Chains A and B, each alone.
Chain A
Amino acid sequence: METRYSRQTLFKPIGEKGQHLLQQKHVLIIGAGALGTGNAENLVRAGVGTVTIVDRDYVEKSNLQRQQLYSEQDAFERLPKAVAAKTRLEAINSQVDIRAHVLDIRKEELEGLLKGIDLLIDATDNFDTRLIINDLTQKNDIPWIYGACVGSYGLSFTVIPKDTPCLHCLMETIPLGGATCDTAGIIAPAVQMVVAHQTTEAMKLLVNDKASLRKRLISFDLWKNEQSTIDVSSLKNKHCLSCGTKPTYPFLSFEKQLKSSVLCGRDSVQIRPSDIMTRDLQALKEQLSHLEGKVESNPYLVTFFHQKHRLVFFLDGRVLIHGTSDISEARTIYHQIIG
């Protein structure tokens, strides 16, 4: 065996056998923000066979303080996070098959990505997506690792279908809309602590060492010097509609198909047209050049500076409208420009 992974194979619970297992595995990471970049870098360095990373956003300067795969140049070029992450990850470890998708994950998209996946890592920033992940992984019998953080606080839980409670069991009442919006800032070490928990649990699962899984819900506050773990196995609810004996997967069936959503703490609205699957960015650039405002582009997106707003058009049809958190105002601007 080559020396690349020698320090990891020397670690007994992994060993040569575990390393070989890691190289056979495929991990799907949803989100390429703070948690996503941290987990992706760890797993790619560790030599996981295939890593797929999905994200709907592009790199901005305010990401650089904690989203460890990105550079100033990525922010300057407004590269989609999935694209910038793939480039950096391939430079770190060319032996790993790294796949990237610039996508806003809903039920259909996720369903297509789950084939052949051994493990899913949650690096999203909202509960809408997490509950779709929770239902679909139950349906497809795939383990996933919840992680989240805000300020100096973070928490994580490993969901194993049939074995542990699921996120729906733990949360019962789901925070709606704005209740999940975290505007308290975040420090990088809080991210890294959640990432450490997620990646370690991922490695245990990938080398088939289930006995070593933490099995408890863990939370910490690095600034307040607090840590807490709770054995939540008693919360596994046999009547749970997501993981109980008669599942209906409620977050798949009554999926609201959010056409527009406010991005947390970003003063931005995402509009997702139901009728557009791919947008012709060349034609759009031409169309925008007749309007008042500056147009900038890269192969993945077109940015249009319109009065006090900035509109970013993606290949998959989505538009981010920066400078407002009012959905109806955003829709008006969208229709004024696109017609």
Chain B
Amino acid sequence: MFIQVNGKKDEVPESLHTIADLLSHYGLDKKVVIVEQNGVIIDKTTHSETLLTADDQLEFVHFVGGG
């Protein structure tokens, strides 16, 4: 399935069904991350229920501490 992540097209396995699956796929599941799906911020508590659809436009911003 093709999706758009942070402005770039990416092909991800069909086995990914939810936002939570996608976050683990990108190694972001342990991080504090804000997810926007098609212009709407997805509440953290619903990441594992929110379904992915082909051509979704996603924005991820994760927090880091360095400086």
Interface residues of A (CB under 8 A from B): 31, 33-36, 122-127, 130, 147-150, 153-155, 170-175, 179-182, 186, 194, 217-219, 221, 225-230, 232, 234-235, 264
Tell me if A148 and B61 are in contact (CB < 8 A): no
Check A125 against B65 for contact (C-beta < 8 Å).
yes
- Beyond the given pairs A181-B65, A219-B61, A232-B34, 9 more chain A to chain B contacts, judged by CB atoms under 8 angstroms and listed by A's residue number, are A122-B67, A123-B67, A126-B65, A150-B65, A150-B66, A221-B6, A226-B8, A228-B61, A235-B34
How long is the Cα–Cα vector from A215 to B3 in the complex, in angstroms? 26
Nearest-CB residue, chain A, relative to B31: A175
Chain B contact residues, CB within 8 Å of chain A: 5-8, 30-32, 34, 36, 41, 44, 59-67
Report B64 CB to chain A, min CB distance, Å: 5
Known: A175-B32, A235-B34, A235-B41. A228 touches B7 (CB 8 A): yes
- A229 proximity list for chain B (CB < 8 A): 59
Q: Are B7 and A227 in contact (CB under 8 A)?
A: yes
- Subset of 22 A-B contacts with CB under 8 Å: A122-B67, A123-B67, A127-B65, A148-B66, A149-B64, A155-B63, A170-B63, A171-B63, A172-B44, A174-B32, A175-B32, A175-B65, A179-B30, A182-B65, A186-B66, A194-B67, A225-B8, A226-B7, A227-B6, A227-B7, A235-B41, A264-B66
